[in-house]
Amino acid sequence: MPLQLYYAPGACSFVPHAALELAGAEFEPVLVKLHKGEQRSAAFLALNPRGQVPVLVDDGAVITQVVAIGLHLDARFPAAQLLPAQGLERIRALEWLAWMNNTAHPTFGHVFAPAKFTDDVAAQASVKAHALVRYRELLGELEAAVAARPGPWLGGASPGLLDAYAVTLLRWGGLAGIDPTTLPQTWALAQAFAALPAVARVLQRERLPLNLYQPAAA
Ligand SMILES: N[C@@H](CCC(=O)N[C@@H](CS)C(=O)NCC(=O)O)C(=O)O
């Protein structure tokens, strides 16, 4: 099979995973268990020395980074319209894709894994708390973008990369104690996206609940 996607359940690899299913691509999903450290195995590091998912292998070519993989899939499966095809609509979509990947995603990284940023345990709590406040603000920015979207989906007429990334960021927020229903536009978009048969297949394969938020016990 020419296409293989190395993914981890609930990770940012959900974005290309959903894109492949939306495109109707024939591909082999390869599970990488991050909690077991499989991303640091010799075999995986030979594929991606950064030890991260996603990795797409296309006919022997190894491609990493959500944005690069997403652009590759968009070019390979144009009929799927994973991004707007041209013009300012495409540029606006790329602006949001870049923001999701270079701003919102690494901010959540500080919430999820503060030990990556300091080995001082007290400072880790502070990094986490500060990043969580910032992450809430960023999800607020996302909510405004969803409200102003150019069509039923974030990229306009077709569901695609932006919707998949928005769902990922919203799910991560739930994990960090941010109730997705407080972001009603994004929550509605996430529910509509999850209901698409192609996306439902990904959620099922990754065994993902859409809403990870657990209210604090009274
Ligand atoms: N900039 C990278 C970020 C990839 C990334 O953060 N991957 C995470 C999962 S969301 C990962 O593999 N983490 C495992 C680790 O760092 O050990 C991209 O866009 O692909």
Please, are residues 181 and 215 in contact by the beta-carbon 8 Å criterion?
A: no
Tell me the C-alpha distance between 69 and 27, whole Å: 14
106 alpha carbon – ligand 1 mean position (Å): 9
Question: Closest ligand 1 atom to the C-alpha of 101?
Answer: 19
For atom 16 of ligand 1, which residue has the closest CA? 52
| Entry field: residues in the chain | 218
Question: Closest ligand 1 atom to the C-alpha of 69?
Answer: 20
9 alpha carbon – ligand 1 mean position (Å): 12
11 alpha carbon – ligand 1 mean position (Å): 8
Which domains does the chain show, CATH number per domain? 3-80 (3.40.30.10), 87-196 (1.20.1050.10)
Average pLDDT over residues 61-69: 98
For atom 15 of ligand 1, which residue has the closest CA? 52
| pLDDT at residue 216, rounded to an integer | 82
Report residues whose beta carbon is within 6 angstroms of any ligand 1 atom: 11-12, 34, 39, 51-54, 65-66, 101
For atom 1 of ligand 1, which residue has the closest CA? 65
Average pLDDT over residues 56-68: 98
| pLDDT at residue 150 greater than cutoff 70 | yes
The strands making up 61-64's β-sheet, listed across from edge to edge, are: 28-31, 3-7, 55-58, 61-64
| pLDDT at residue 135, rounded to an integer | 98
pTM of the model: 0.97
| pLDDT at residue 169 greater than cutoff 90 | yes
In testing the pocket of ligand 1, which one of 14, 39, 50, 53 has its CB within 8 Å of the most ligand atoms? 53
Show the CA angle centred on residue 82, arms to residues 190 and 147, nearest 5°.
40
| pLDDT at residue 203 greater than cutoff 80 | yes
What residue type is 34 in one-letter code?
L
- Tokens 């409200």 sit at which residue? 147
- For 78-120, the pLDDT digits (tens) are 999 999 999 999 999 999 999 999 999 999 999 999 999 999 9
CB count, 10 Å around CB of 98?
11
Count of CA atoms in the C-beta half-sphere (13 A) of 84:
21
For atom 3 of ligand 1, which residue has the closest CA? 65
Q: Which of 72, 29, 61, 36 is nearest to 51 (CA)?
A: 36
